[in-house]
Structure 1
Amino acid sequence: MKTKDITYVALFAAVMGALGMIPPIPLSFTPVPITLQTLGVVLAGGILGARLGFLSQMTFLLLVAAGLPLLSGGRGGIGVFVGPSAGYLFSYPIAAALLGFILSRFRTLTLKKVLFVNLTAGVFTLYLFGIPVQAFIMDLPLVHTIKISLIYIPGDLIKATVASYLVYKLRKSTVVSRQFVKAS
């Protein structure tokens, strides 16, 4: 792996840690708080691509498993991987890889395409893993856990929209700068 790739992986692992320093919004009816770290997952996949996005999220989770309090609310250690939010954590590298893979398949990117991919492949993947694991750990019916999780949708729509705008602008500027360098 190139030094530049290692730097990007470490940078996005650090972004995830920085987003974890922003206090979570606890909810009285569920132990899974509202955090900004899902924004970092979507950014990692969209900006770094499938392989590096996956590696950045795995690096972040390994640091958390080692005990660093990088999750929102200062949580860390191996115990978080058996708690109610474990499914969401496990989905981080998968969602980043899936986002990066799908976005790489488009010849041209528009803001609408990026937003659609972020909502379907990103947010949906997080829920696909997070909700069933939360239901299992909390010993709740899946349908009840899905109803509880509806509270996260407005915030995730906002985070996906912000991430889509940033990914679109960064990818657009990168493509333009690459074409400029090739023309020179």
Structure 2
Amino acid sequence: MQDEARDHTAPPTEIVSTVERPGFAPTDLALIAAFAALISACAYIGAIPTGGSGVPITLQTFGVMLSGCLLGPVRGFLAVALYLGLGAIGLPVFAEHSAGLGVFSGPTAGYLVAFPLAALLAGFLVKYVAGRRRTRAWAVFLCSIAGSALVIHPLGITGMKLHFDVSWHEAFNYDTPFWVGDLLKTTLVAIVAAEVHRAFPALLRRR
């Protein structure tokens, strides 16, 4: 009888593993919403037009990369995706107070599509590659600049090439002015994220 009762009792390890795999907690949802709002606010700051592309320089990428570096790959991706969804349904959260699906066929389309993917990559690198070194600004800087260099700029260049029907070289030239600003914003992301991870070491444990 004791053996039968023991067979029907879940091992402690199974109970623990079940408890450790919850869905999104209210805190997660609040963070996703808060960072979507942060990116929206960043889109309004600056908005400096550049060269012949007409694509403005804003602090959007600061908010995008900070979301990934602080929240991790899943929550960071969802925060940026929520931001894009708000803009797509008509809320004026994009640069220069623009909104709607038409923005995704404009010159900034490549950058917008790249944002959640860049947050995903940067968050993955911070969480799984930098690991405990995420409390050091240089480690976060490398993770963030990787997301920008490998995702945002290539897709942004592709979007401008297709929109303006220009050569790759010309589209690359359109993108060049953004690099100086990105280096400054990435430095700021690294400093802020490293300090936050130092103060809240459990922030990336869940997602």
Same fold by TM-score greater than 0.5? yes
Of 169-178 and 71-80, more deviation after overlay is shown by 169-178
1:128 aligns with 2:154: yes
Aligned equivalent of 1:80, options 103, 124, 141: 103
Which residue number corresponds to residue 48 of structure 1? 71
Quickly say closer, same or farther: Cα 1:162–1:177, change in 2 above 3 A: closer
Partner of 2:54: 31
Could you tell me whether the CA contact under 8 Å between 1:45 and 1:96 is conserved in 2? yes
Paired residue for 1:145?
A: 171
Higher mean displacement: 135-144 or 113-122: 113-122
Tell me the equivalent position of 1:181.
Answer: none
> Aligned partners of 1:152 and 1:177: how far apart in 2?
30
In structure 2, C-alpha distance between the alignment counterparts of 1:176 and 1:68, rounded to whole Å: 33
Query: After superposition, what is the alpha-carbon deviation per residue over 1:91-148, rounded to whole angstroms, capped at 9, x for unaligned?
Result: 1110001111111112321221111111122343110211111111110111111122
The aligned amino acid for 1:72 is: A
Provide runs of 4+ in structure 1 moved above 6 Å.
none
Tell me the distance in 2 between the aligned counterparts of 1:148 and 1:142: 10
The residue aligned with 2:139 is 113
Q: Could you say which residue in structure 2 is the equivalent of 1:182? A: none
Could you tell me which residue of structure 1 aligns to residue 83 of structure 2?
A: 60
Q: CA deviation at 1:53?
A: 0.3
CA, structure 1 residues 75+115, in 2 after alignment: closer, same or farther (shift >3 Å)?
A: same
Read off the aligned partner of 1:99 and give its amino acid letter. Answer: A
Q: Which residue does 2:122 correspond to in 1?
A: 99
User: Aligned residue for 2:15?
Assistant: none
Structure 2 distance, partners of 1:172, 1:21, is 29
**In structure 2, how many angstroms separate the alpha carbons of the residues matched to 1:23 and 1:2?**
34
1:162 maps onto 2:162 in alignment: no
Residue 176 of structure 2 aligns to a residue whose secondary structure is helix
**Structure 1 partner of 2:6:** none
Q: Which runs of 5+ in 1 are unaligned?
A: 179-184
Give the number of the structure whose alpha-carbon radius of gyration is greater: 2
Taking structure 1 as reference, are residues 177 and 145 closer, same or farther at Cα in structure 2, changes over 3 Å only?
A: closer
Cα-to-partner distance string for 1:18-46 (whole Å, 9 max, x where unaligned): 11222400124112111110100110000
Instruction: Give the paired residue count.
Output: 178
What percentage of aligned pairs have identical amino acids?
31
Scaled by the length of structure 1, what TM-score is found? 0.92
TM-score (norm 2): 0.82
